[in-house]
Structure 1
């Protein structure tokens, strides 16, 4: 350790060389910073590299959401195809689990950075507030997409695997992979954007989690109230409540109907997609606006 004395305005100051090794390697710039934020956020969504308690919710959601799909595939195989495989019926029951995952894990990325005051370090070089927000959102969307896709993928592959002639069934099911990917994409888009926007608004993770769950539940209550008290048409209610809208969209995409849907046909698929895109665009705007104004 060396010590140099520097005289400034008559006052003696001391500069200490603490011996830190300088970094002389390649610098990846803004793209590298974006990739690093994305990858670190993606790992955070699943609790990778963190204590076991941080992995509790991701492991619980992934395991529990997969069990009904596996059970359905086993039942279809045991009945030798006599029991039809219901994609939407199984998937609709998992929507609350996906909400739990997004509500628990979004604050782990966005609220923790504010709570522990690491944003000033992140935003020092090559990272703008907008790129930070988009990197975190991209990480959350990717994680949510995988979680939302997994149960549907198990049903899709299971239906092929238990068929009497898997090769013929695989050829016949080429058109079903589109609804599977579209359903997972839309669900992930809604959950990730709304959860990220709300989580960015507070450094307290408990408040962020409560606000995310509360918003979806309040939307459900409003839709029920409008239907029962104001007589709002069913088509409008389907689009007000995101959870119900996702469940109904799954029924439509996979060609599964109920008696109620036959009496009151739901809106077209394009209407659901338009509403989800508007929700995602609005939530993304809130996220970027909030990160541009957050104090660091």
Structure 2
């Protein structure tokens, strides 16, 4: 009996197609993350909460548009829509962020991701972009519905349309600020645990537990403490940025002349969360 080995040709061939590179990897992870944020491609149960929240925000925008068409005045403007829906945004981010990152930790697929030419920065960029896009769509689409109503009901022709567009674009910028702050904080917290319930609870706790600090600082006798109190909570921080940029005084927060500090902290908060998130996944990728 011969002990020589035999090589069988079973038809395997080298891949001859195009190699799409890093851009295609980023796009694939981003699209997958955005679909997961709204439960697309998953069971009906996964769609209930994100689409329920989106439906509520859309309904509020439609009611607001109906009032505008009948009376000529908004119940609330583009900025106030974001402020009014703030708690829904918190719960939306608390559910979606763990879906994007905690599931990967729990299922143990991160080593598989990083065994391919995927960098930690790529993974973080795709997940942040997906959640930012999801939050922005949830707020930006209702704002666009409001814009269409304002544009079609204006009595000054194209001048009124341009005026309404001039209100919409800064409103979208405000929504983008909301999206970046909520996405960066939520993903950082969710990246620390593979248990989605713990991650969701931690995200909600951060936003809920920081709000009372603002009230405590406001009862102190120091006027400086009053002006800086909004820095203690992400929600009041965003309101402080709006007060600074729009020179508003009706939001229940007194920032004095410290508006630039609110803008700087908002930028630093986003940057710090993203850098910590990147450091977290660089550590995972090096294991």
Which of the five TM-score ranges fits, normalised by the shorter chain? 0.7 to 0.9
Match of 2:112 among 105, 108, 121: 121
Paired residues for 1:62-73 under 5 Å = 62-73=54-65
The TM-score, its normalising length taken from structure 2, stands at 0.85
Aligned residues: CA RMSD: 3.0
CA distance in 2, matches of 1:18, 1:99: 55
**Counterpart pick for 2:277 among 274, 287, 290:** 287
Residue 10 (structure 1) aligns with? none
Greater fraction helix: 2
Please state how far the C-alpha of 1:6 moved relative to its aligned partner: 9.8
1:212 aligns with 2:203: yes
Q: Does 1:75 align with 2:94?
A: no
Question: With structure 1 as the length reference, what TM-score do the two structures score?
Answer: 0.83
Aligned match of 2:49 in 46, 57, 61? 57
Q: Is 1:169 aligned to 2:160, yes or no? A: yes
Shift of the 135–46 alpha-carbon distance from structure 1 to 2, 3 Å rule, reads same
Match of 2:176 in 1: 185
Specify the alignment match of 1:28 in structure 2.
Answer: 20
Aligned to 2:141: 150
- Higher strand share goes to which structure? 1
Structure 2, unaligned stretches of length 5 or more? Answer: none
User: For the residues of structure 1 that align with 2:4 and 2:212, how far apart are their CA atoms?
Assistant: 68
Q: Which runs of 5+ in 1 are unaligned?
A: 8-14
Equivalent-residue separation in structure 1 for 2:197 and 2:8 (angstroms): 42
Aligned counterparts of 1:119 and 1:179: Cα–Cα separation in 2: 38
1:107 paired residue among 77, 98, 108 = 98
Matched positions, count: 282
Equivalent pair of 2:33/2:131 in contact (CA under 8 Å)? yes
Cα deviation per residue 1:32-84 (whole Å; 9 max; x = unaligned)? 212211111111111111111111121011111122221112112112x2567
Decide whether the 8 Å contact of 1:88 with 1:247 is kept in 2: no
Which of the numbers 72, 78, 83 marks the counterpart of 1:87? 78
CA deviation map 1:153-195 (0-9, x unaligned): 2222222222234433113334323321210111011011111
- Matching residue of 1:235: 227
**Structure-2 change in CA distance of 1:91 and 1:140 (3 Å):** closer
* Cα pair 1:198 1:211 within 8 Å, conserved: yes
Alpha-carbon contact 2:37-2:99 (below 8 Å) kept:
yes
Distance 2:53 2:10 in 1: 46
Matched residues in 1 for 2:147 and 2:246: separation? Answer: 11
1:91–1:250 CA contact under 8 A, matched in 2: no
